[in-house]
Structure 1
Amino acid sequence: MNVNNVYLDVVTGRKDQLPDTDFLEIAFAGKSNVGKSSLLNTLINRKSLARTSSKPGKTQTINFYNVEEQLYFVDLPGYGYAKVSKADRERWGRFIEDYLTTRQQLRLVVLLIDIRHEPGKNDVLMYDWIKYQGFEPLIIATKMDKLKRSQIKKHLNVIQKALKMPNQKNIIPFSAVSKQGKDEIWERFDTLLQEYADQHAAMEDEVKEIEE
Structure 2
Amino acid sequence: MKNAIQFSLSILFSLFISSAVVAQEKHTLQRGDKIEKVDIRDLHNKPAVTPGIGEKVTLIFYPDPDSPSQNDVFVDEIKRWKFPEEEYMAYGIVNLADSPYPNSVIRFMTRMVRKRSKQEADALILTDPKSLIQEAWNTGDCNNSFAILLVDADGEVLFWKAGALEADEITFIIDEIKSNVSESHKYTEQEMQAFDL
Which TM bucket (shorter chain)? 0.3 to 0.5
**TM-score scaled by structure 1?**
0.32
Higher relative contact order at CA 8 Å, sep ≥6: structure 1 or structure 2? Answer: 2
**TM-score scaled by structure 2?**
0.34
